[in-house]
A and B are shown apart, each in its own frame.
Chain A
C-alpha cells in the first residue's frame, strides 16, 4: 500500500501519465469529432498506424519533425476522405468500412515501410522530439516536471482539448457538426450541406488520429515497429463512449486511464515476481471494457450515429 502512495506522489509517475495520455487524447478527440458528426470511424487503428509510419518515415528521409507531423496529418485527411466517401456519400456500413480502412491502412503502412527499408533488421532510429521545458512553470515541484517538461506534441494534444471543446460548443461550425450527428434533417433545413459537414469532421478527426499515431514514433519512441499501435485506437473508441462524447470528460477519462496504465507498469516492477507480467499488460484493455460498462447505461449516443443521410429521403 505504501508503495502505491509513494508512486502516486512521485513526479516520474505523473510525467509518465502525461506522456502515455498524449496519443490517447489525440485519438479520442479525433474519434469524438467523427462520431459527433454521426460517423463511427473504426479506421482509427489503421489511421494511427499510417500516421506513425508516415510521420516517422518523413523524418527518416530527411524532413524535419514538424513537417513530418503535418505529413502524418495529411495522410490522416486522405484516409478520412476515403472513409467519408464510403460512409457519408455512398452510405455504406460504417462498421465494415472502418474495419476495411484499418486493414488497408495498416497493411499499406507495413508495405511502404518494408518497401523503403527492405533490409532493416533492427529498426532504424530518428532524432525524435526533445523535451521542451516551459520557462518558470517547469520549475514548480511535481506539477512542473509532470506537465511542463514534455515534448511539444504533448502540449499540442493538451491545448487541443479546449480548442475542440470551444469549436464544438461555441461556434456555428461546431453547432452544425453536432447537429449533423443528432438531426441531419435540421441541418439540411438550415441550408447547410450535411454531407460536407460530415466529410469535414471525419477528415479532421482522422488527421487527429494520425498525429496521435505520429506521437508514438516521433515523440514517445524513435522508431517504427510492426504492431506498435497495439490496440490504442480501439481504446480511444472505448474512451469516447466513457466520455459521453464530451471533450472535457474525454481528457479526464484518458488521464484516468493513462494513470492506471503508468501505475500498472510500476506495479509490475514491484509485484512482477508474484503475478505474471501478462496480467499487467491486460489491464489497459480490461479497464477500457470496464469503463464502457460503467458508462453504458448513461451513454447518450449521438442520435444519428451510424445512420447514413441521403438528401431528400425520409427516415
Chain B
C-alpha cells in the first residue's frame, strides 16, 4: 500500500469530504441502531424530524448550535496554529463564571452596554484560563494538550466551589446554582415562545469575524504560517511565541463567550451542568469544518441536529441517547480519513 500526495487538490473533493465523513459515521452508527432492533431508516428519519421537523425543534437545534459555534471557532483558530487547545470546556466555564460574577448585580449598565460588557469579561476570563498553559508551552515547552485537559477538571471543581460557596443563590433551595443574571444582562429572545436567543446572531458575527481575521489580516496570516511550518515562519521574521500566545488568547476568549451565552442567553443563571461537553464537541465541529470559520456554522448546526434529534429519537424508539456522542466521535475519525483522501491517493500494489 502506497500513499502519494495528489498534485492538485480539487475543490469538489474538499467540499465532499465532510459529507462523506458524515455518511460513513451514520453508516457505522446504524450498526448500533440495528442492535436495538429498530429500522435504521426509520431511526434516522426520526432523528431528522426531531431536529428540524417542527418550528420548536428547529429553534432548539439553532439554540444548541450557539455554544457549539463558539467552541468550534475556539478549536478552529487554535488548531490552525497547531496549538492543541483541548481546554475549551474549562474556558467555557470560566467565561460563565465571570459573567455570573459581574452580571448578578455587581455592576448595572443599560442592556446595550451590559451585554457586550459581560461578553468582554467572559472572553477575558476564557483567555486567562488558557494563559497559563500557553505560557508554559512557549516558555517552558510544556505540552499544552495535557495541561489544558487537566485544567478542565480543576476549573470545574473551582466553579463547583463558587456555586456551593461565595456565589450560591440563597433562594436556590439548596441546589448548587448562582443567582440569576440581572435583566439588563440577559440576551434578548430571537423567536417568541422559544429558547432561541440573540446569542445566535453573535455566533454568526463571530464566525464571520474569525473568517475575516484569518483571511485578511496579518494576525490571521501569522497564525496560518505558524501552523503550517513554525520554523519557516520564524525564519520569515514572524514572532512565533507571540503568535501562539495571541492565538491562544483568542481561542480561550471564544470559548469563554460560549459560557457567557449559555448563562446570559439560555439559562439565566450558572449551574454546574450548563455544558454537556460543548468544549470537547467543539473539536469535532472544527474538524468537520476543516478548520474553516465559516464552515463552522454549518458543522455546528449539523452536530446540534444530531444531539437534539437523538434526544427525540431515543424517546421514540428507546435507544440510549449516547448514540449522539458515538456519532460525533465517529465523525471526528471519519473526517480525518476523508480529508486525507482529498490530499493523498492510496495505491495498492
Interface residues of A (CB under 8 A from B): 42, 82, 86, 89-93, 95-97, 99-108, 110-111, 114-115, 118, 230-231, 234-235, 237-238, 241, 276, 278-279, 281-282, 285-286, 288-289, 292-293, 296-297, 299, 310
Contacts and interface: CB of A to CB of B under 8 A. Distances in A.
B322 A107 contact: yes
A86 B325 contact: no
B36 A293 contact: no
B157 interface: yes
Contacts of B158: 278, 282
Q: In the A-B complex, list the 3 residue pairs whose CB atoms are closest, starting with the nearest.
A: A104-B329, A107-B325, A103-B329
B42 interface: no
A278 B325 CA distance: 28
A118 B326 contact: no
Contact of B328 (A86, A107, A110, A296): A107
B191 interface: no
B150 A93 contact: no
Contacts of A234: 146, 149-150
A90 B325 CA distance: 24
Contact of B151 (A115, A289, A296, A310): A289
B333 A289 contact: no
Interface in B29-84: 32, 35-36, 79, 84
29 contacts: A90-B336, A91-B3, A92-B340, A96-B287, A99-B283, A99-B332, A100-B284, A100-B333, A103-B328, A104-B330, A107-B322, A107-B326, A110-B320, A115-B36, A234-B146, A235-B150, A237-B145, A276-B161, A276-B164, A278-B158, A278-B160, A278-B164, A282-B157, A288-B146, A289-B146, A292-B146, A293-B142, A296-B136, A296-B141
B280 interface: yes
Contacts of B322: 107-108, 110-111, 114
Given A99-B332, A103-B284, A296-B140, A90 B337 contact: yes
A292 B151 contact: no
Contact of B150 (A99, A278, A289): A289
A114 B320 contact: yes
Contacts of A91: 3
Interface of B: 1, 3, 32, 35-36, 79, 84, 86, 136, 140-143, 145-147, 149-154, 157-158, 160-161, 164-165, 280, 283-284, 287, 318, 320, 322-323, 325-326, 328-330, 332-333, 336-337, 340
Contact of B153 (A92, A107, A285): A285
Nearest to B334: A100
B146 A241 contact: yes
Nearest to A107: B325
A139 B146 CA distance: 41
A289 B164 contact: no
A278 B330 contact: no
Given A278-B160, A279-B161, A289-B147, A96 B283 contact: yes
A93 B3 CA distance: 15
A103 B320 contact: no
A282 B86 CA distance: 18
Contacts of B164: 276, 278
Contacts of B143: 241, 292
A288 B143 CA distance: 12
B292 to A, nearest CB: 16
Contacts of A286: 150, 154
Contacts of B329: 100-108
Contacts, number: 135
A90 B340 contact: yes
Given A111-B32, A276-B164, A278-B157, 20 more contacts: A86-B333, A89-B1, A90-B3, A90-B340, A92-B340, A96-B283, A97-B333, A103-B325, A103-B329, A104-B329, A104-B330, A111-B320, A115-B32, A115-B35, A118-B318, A118-B320, A231-B150, A237-B145, A282-B158, A285-B151
Contact of B145 (A95, A282, A296): A95
Contacts of A293: 136, 140, 142
A124 B223 CA distance: 50
A278 B320 contact: no
B150 A238 contact: yes
A245 B93 CA distance: 33
Nearest to B318: A118
B336 A97 contact: yes
A235 B153 CA distance: 11
Given A103-B328, A114-B320, A296 B142 contact: yes
A42 B142 contact: no
B17 to A, nearest CB: 13
Nearest to B132: A289
Given A110-B325, A111-B32, A235-B150, A103 B332 contact: yes
A28 to B, nearest CB: 13
Contacts of B142: 289, 292-293, 296
B149 A231 contact: yes
A292 B154 contact: no
Contacts of A288: 146, 150
A119 to B, nearest CB: 11
A103 B283 CA distance: 10
B332 A278 contact: no
B280 A103 contact: yes
Contact of A99 (B86, B140, B318, B325): B86
A235 B154 CA distance: 12
Q: Which of B36, B322, B330 has the most CB of A within 10 A?
A: B322
